[in-house]
Structure 1
Amino acid sequence: MPSEETEVVVVGAGQAGVAMSEHLGALGIPHLVLERHGIAERWRSQRWDSLVANGPAWHDRFPGMEFPHIAPDAFPSKEQVADYFVAYAENIGAPIRCGVEVTSVHKHTGRPGFRVETSEGSIDARFVVAATGPFQRPVIPPIVPDGAVPVQIHSSGYRNPGQLPAGAVLVVGAGSSGVQIADELRRTGRRVFLSVGPHDRPPREYRGRDFCWWLGVLGLWDAQTPAQGAEHVTIAVSGARGGHTVDFRALADTGIELVGLTASYGDGILRFAPDLATNIALGDAKYLGLLRAADAYIDRNGLDLPEEPEAHLLGPDPQCVTVPRLELDLAEAGVTSIVWATGFATDYSWLDVDAFDEKGRPNQRRGVSCEPGVYFLGLPWLSRRGSSFIWGVWHDARYVADHIATRRGYLAYGTTDQPVAAQATRKNREGAMTSTNEDRELKAPIVTGGHTRIRPFNTRDTYPEQSLDNDLCQAVVAGNTVYVRGQIGQDLATSESVGIGNAEAQAEQAMSNIKMLLEEAGSRMEHLVKLTIYLIDPRYREAVYRAVGRWTKGVHPISTGLVVSALARPEWLCEIDAIAVIPEEDRA
């Protein structure tokens, strides 16, 4: 039976697969997304009942759609997250086939591409994207033998306290999952032990800003190379009950007994490493370091944010830290359950290609593997720290899609089926224009209705995730008046967003764009007569207006400031449009 054919097969329809489909579709690249279960199924079936997202709704989403019926600073439930991706996939018309399991991928012999074997038949594809993410195989360290306690489960199998037999519970792992599960169990009146290893615990909120915002303005989301071993350090942060900073001292005060890293087991006795105090101290150091960096940023930029000196105060170490328990007789302590919140391993056993290193890890750079035509998406630190977050996956997918489009252009060279080069396609999609002569010819001004239109574009290209088909431009010259479209923190030469999380940096880029567009229109900054400034938060006003003031020194335009609920994409914090009038003596 002949196999089906397509350009790209994307394996997995979680957040990575949906993002990949959006960008491939926007570039006009034929593709299929294969999912053995349902869209974003792991959010529904491999999470505990009370789980909420660890990031607020304004931050942890794709640019093309907000979470419905959720306040921007709230934390969506697991079901709401899953529903979000189902709705998003429907909105973009993603060609997803659920209930189709990929069993193997082999490279063709003597011709480009791959044979993808599935539970529904074979598919030939030029490219394959492994978008299955990092949460493939639950990892339970081989420490406690089966039968030592009635129940041992991984956190992915935990649902609620009623699932476990009566008795005390040991939770192993002090990342977000372990901490939240331990806290939930303790609130039901159970005796709980929490095994705490090395961790990072950022403040949930500091001086009126969520830690996601702080990582953005401090540039920490963009860190590209983790410190040695940082890939394996868990992050203890919680969106539960409206969100709060994880404080192990406070957990101990509620009755949870903290112990060190779970080390070994024998004769009914579980042994812990004598590292609890060190692990707590190192987590505190990272927490305090972020607070100091935030304070320095506020001072450097003159932001008016409320002081929070109490956040720097750490309470005394509880007795379980100063005199740590090194052994636990499970029977004597009444421990009937162990919940292993110890992470996951990837499983690419179906991907039979030479795309892995000697340890079986994907050998890739920004998702592009060493095996031409094979890509990875959804992995932590794929390109930067933010890669494991929903919005970070979306940006990583855009890079991978562009790489695929570029490679298609090379492969099609000299054939009758030659696609548009990826760079040009992407620039059309973003409405951008580089400084090259070729791009200037492609984006030359046009005259319609008697007025000159600078950098014309269509919203079908700039906002492919939205059902729009509007012909617009970046500026209009009408007589001696120049109207400049609202500019945001986006480099017009590359279409890349800049200053993510930093309103002042975005305003600086917007004003730079306005200057460039005025000059292309035959005007200059001195001709400005009016600015309209849109902010998504009034607390950004001072930072944005400082940037504007540097560009308009001595010009004295009028300005209007408006606060809006959101802009076109969640990373944009401000937008500025402008009107300039060219004096008669300056007109060419």
Structure 2
Amino acid sequence: MNENRVPHYPVIVVGGGQAGLSTSYHLARHGLDHLVIEKHRAMHAWDTQRWDNFCLVTPNWQCDLPGHPYAGPDPDGFMRKDEILAYLTAFRAKVDPPIREGVSVRRVTPRAGGGFLVATSSGEFSADNVVVASGGYHEPIVPRMAERLPPAIAQVHSAQYRNAGQLPEGPVLVVGSGQSGAQIAEDLHLAGRKVHLAVGNAPRCARFYRGRDVVTWLADMGYYDMPVEQHPLREGVRDNTNHYVTGRDGGRDIDLRKFALEGMELHGVLREFDGTHLVFDTNLAQALDEADKTYNGINAAIDRHIAENGIAAPPPSTYEAVWRPAQERPRLDLAASGIAAIVWCIGFRPDFRWLDAPVFNGAGHPRHRRGVTAQEGVYFIGLPWLHSWGSGRFGSVGRDAAHIVTHIAARAGQDGATRDRAGQDSAA
């Protein structure tokens, strides 16, 4: 196909989730013609990759997409799945983006004369700028050992889990204790299922402390606005696992030790299946202690904030373990345990193979500074810790989108030589 005859846009946004539509909102405000391309339908992941009892883990007041702040009756509550979908549907209606749904981007390649050729399942386009808004959670991670498990055992990834009723009767093994794993384990536990949980190194935090939601305290303390460059771990913080907590039933802690007292069986990290036994690390006690250390450490930081600012609040407290493993079990006979299903909650890996640009590190993750890459005209939005802890939340993705669009608008008003210098400076 003659590249000069394909439809051209100053900006093509790949991905129609909240990040892509936030970008569309700001592009429209700048008067920049653009196209949003979405593989499925806008916001589809919130509907198709969340379980029935899913709810936000951050208070509703933090939902502040561009031009669309939360306006419901419960700002300190936690929206459930149907409320989230309604909120996002209303956001899409406000943005009214120029979007093509059900279209897959197959390849993005630089053009010799500048800009990019975007090959899709619906034909080719060209663009001066490409904004990657497809997130970083593309391929569900399931270990190779899953192939060796008996075929009678049902296996689903967290993205496929909906409710306890979809799984066959019998005990369920949940692998992973990050936000999804801990909440799915709780969902099954509350449904009366026997649960085995393989616990990883995820930290945890309190839901409420000293009279307020912990998120509210941390927001006041500036934690969600701290740029990645100022974090002690720098870019390494992007590899951190989120703290497990829940907004279910008005919000509460997730205490795995309490679950153990109630009959949930906790194990260390699942390492192998030897044909008969599931093999676990003997790290359970350490993992629980480390999670509690983070929990108490966050609360201690809140204590200091309260003291330094003379804030009136209920007295401080320290979490004390309500259960400890008497003896860790490194091996579990799969047949004898009766486990009928496994829910894999060990995350996703990114897949940006369709983007032909030198903007990735050795692990396949984008290299950028607040979404601006060293490749002129290539941007990312919607990644965890794109700029700050808040970048992956409804409250801050709009600010990141505004930053990127301002950069694009500046490029659009500059000559080629100036644009080259601006792109190099931004990626430094």
Compute the TM-score of the two structures, normalised by the length of structure 1. Answer: 0.67
Work out which of the residue numbers 79, 84, 92 in structure 2 matches 1:81: 84
SS of 2:335's partner is coil
SS of 1:124's partner is strand
Contact preservation (8 Å) 2:261, 2:323: no
Specify whether residues 159 and 315 from structure 1 end up closer, same or farther in structure 2 by C-alpha distance, changes over 3 A only. Answer: same
Work out which of the residue numbers 145, 160, 174 in structure 2 matches 1:157: 160
Higher RCO structure, 1 or 2 (CA under 8 Å, sep 6+): 2
1:288 corresponding residue in structure 2: 296
SS of 1:399's partner is helix
- CA deviations on 1:303-353 (whole Å, 9 max, x unpaired) are 1222253xx1313333xx231221111110000111011111111122122
Aligned partner letter, 1:92: V
Structure 2: segments with no counterpart, 5+ residues:
423-428
Contact preservation (8 Å) 2:148, 2:275: no
Larger Rg computed on CA atoms:
1
Aligned partner letter, 1:179: A
2:141 corresponding residue in structure 1: 139
Work out which of the residue numbers 201, 223, 233 in structure 1 matches 2:241: 233
Contact preservation (8 Å) 1:174, 1:234: no
Instruction: State the shift of 1:169 in Å.
Output: 0.5
1:47 corresponding residue in structure 2: 50
Task: Give the superposed CA RMSD.
Answer: 2.0
Aligned partner letter, 2:129: F
Q: What is the distance in 2 between the residues matched to 1:72 and 1:287?
A: 24
Specify whether residues 328 and 71 from structure 1 end up closer, same or farther in structure 2 by C-alpha distance, changes over 3 A only. Answer: same
Contact preservation (8 Å) 1:226, 1:381: no
Q: What is the distance in 1 between the residues matched to 2:415 and 2:104?
A: 29
Contact preservation (8 Å) 2:359, 2:367: yes
Aligned partner letter, 2:160: G
Does residue 130 in structure 1 map to residue 118 in structure 2? no
Contact preservation (8 Å) 1:170, 1:192: yes
2:320 corresponding residue in structure 1: 314
Instruction: State the shift of 1:68 in Å.
Output: 4.9
2:60 corresponding residue in structure 1: 57
2:260 corresponding residue in structure 1: 252
Answer with 328-337 or 209-218: which moved more: 209-218
1:354 corresponding residue in structure 2: 358
Instruction: State the shift of 1:392 in Å.
Output: 2.1
Structure 1: segments with no counterpart, 5+ residues:
422-588
Q: What is the distance in 2 between the residues matched to 1:303 and 1:229?
A: 30
Alignment size in residue pairs: 411
Q: What is the distance in 2 between the residues matched to 1:210 and 1:188?
A: 26
Specify whether residues 288 and 146 from structure 1 end up closer, same or farther in structure 2 by C-alpha distance, changes over 3 A only. Answer: same
Q: What is the distance in 2 between the residues matched to 1:201 and 1:138?
A: 23
2:426 corresponding residue in structure 1: none
Runs of 4+ in 1 over 6 A off after TM superposition: none
Q: What is the distance in 1 between the residues matched to 2:40 and 2:238?
A: 32
- CA deviations on 1:374-422 (whole Å, 9 max, x unpaired) are 11111111112221112222111111111111222223789xxx9xx9x
Q: What is the distance in 2 between the residues matched to 1:229 and 1:295?
A: 24
SS of 1:9's partner is strand
- CA deviations on 1:154-190 (whole Å, 9 max, x unpaired) are 1001111111111111001111111111111122222
Answer with 66-75 or 233-242: which moved more: 66-75
Q: Which has the higher strand share?
A: 1
Identity of aligned residues (%): 39
Q: What is the distance in 1 between the residues matched to 2:66 and 2:377?
A: 27
1:403 corresponding residue in structure 2: 407
2:179 corresponding residue in structure 1: 176
Question: 1:2-151 to 2 correspondence within 5 Å?
Answer: 2-109=5-112, 111-148=113-150, 149-151=152-154
Specify whether residues 79 and 316 from structure 1 end up closer, same or farther in structure 2 by C-alpha distance, changes over 3 A only. Answer: closer
- CA deviations on 1:511-554 (whole Å, 9 max, x unpaired) are xxxxxxxxxxxxxxxxxxxxxxxxxxxxxxxxxxxxxxxxxxxx
- CA deviations on 1:548-570 (whole Å, 9 max, x unpaired) are xxxxxxxxxxxxxxxxxxxxxxx
- CA deviations on 1:472-523 (whole Å, 9 max, x unpaired) are xxxxxxxxxxxxxxxxxxxxxxxxxxxxxxxxxxxxxxxxxxxxxxxxxxxx
Instruction: State the shift of 1:140 in Å.
Output: 1.2
Aligned partner letter, 1:240: R
Q: What is the distance in 2 between the residues matched to 1:344 and 1:40?
A: 18
Question: 1:516-535 to 2 correspondence within 5 Å?
Answer: none
Specify whether residues 250 and 63 from structure 1 end up closer, same or farther in structure 2 by C-alpha distance, changes over 3 A only. Answer: farther
1:491 corresponding residue in structure 2: none
Work out which of the residue numbers 329, 333, 341 in structure 1 matches 2:333: 329
Contact preservation (8 Å) 2:149, 2:273: no
Specify whether residues 97 and 21 from structure 1 end up closer, same or farther in structure 2 by C-alpha distance, changes over 3 A only. Answer: same
Instruction: State the shift of 1:222 in Å.
Output: 3.0
Specify whether residues 161 and 70 from structure 1 end up closer, same or farther in structure 2 by C-alpha distance, changes over 3 A only. Answer: farther
Instruction: State the shift of 1:21 in Å.
Output: 0.8
Instruction: State the shift of 1:36 in Å.
Output: 1.5
Instruction: State the shift of 1:260 in Å.
Output: 0.7
Aligned partner letter, 1:178: G
- CA deviations on 1:32-87 (whole Å, 9 max, x unpaired) are 11111111100000111110111111013325223354410111122322332222
Q: What is the distance in 2 between the residues matched to 1:48 and 1:164?
A: 13
Contact preservation (8 Å) 2:148, 2:273: no
Instruction: State the shift of 1:365 in Å.
Output: 1.5
Instruction: State the shift of 1:292 in Å.
Output: 1.0
Contact preservation (8 Å) 1:5, 1:124: yes
Question: 1:414-453 to 2 correspondence within 5 Å?
Answer: none
SS of 1:390's partner is coil
Q: What is the distance in 1 between the residues matched to 2:404 and 2:326?
A: 49
Instruction: State the shift of 1:130 in Å.
Output: 0.6
Specify whether residues 114 and 230 from structure 1 end up closer, same or farther in structure 2 by C-alpha distance, changes over 3 A only. Answer: closer
Specify whether residues 68 and 297 from structure 1 end up closer, same or farther in structure 2 by C-alpha distance, changes over 3 A only. Answer: closer
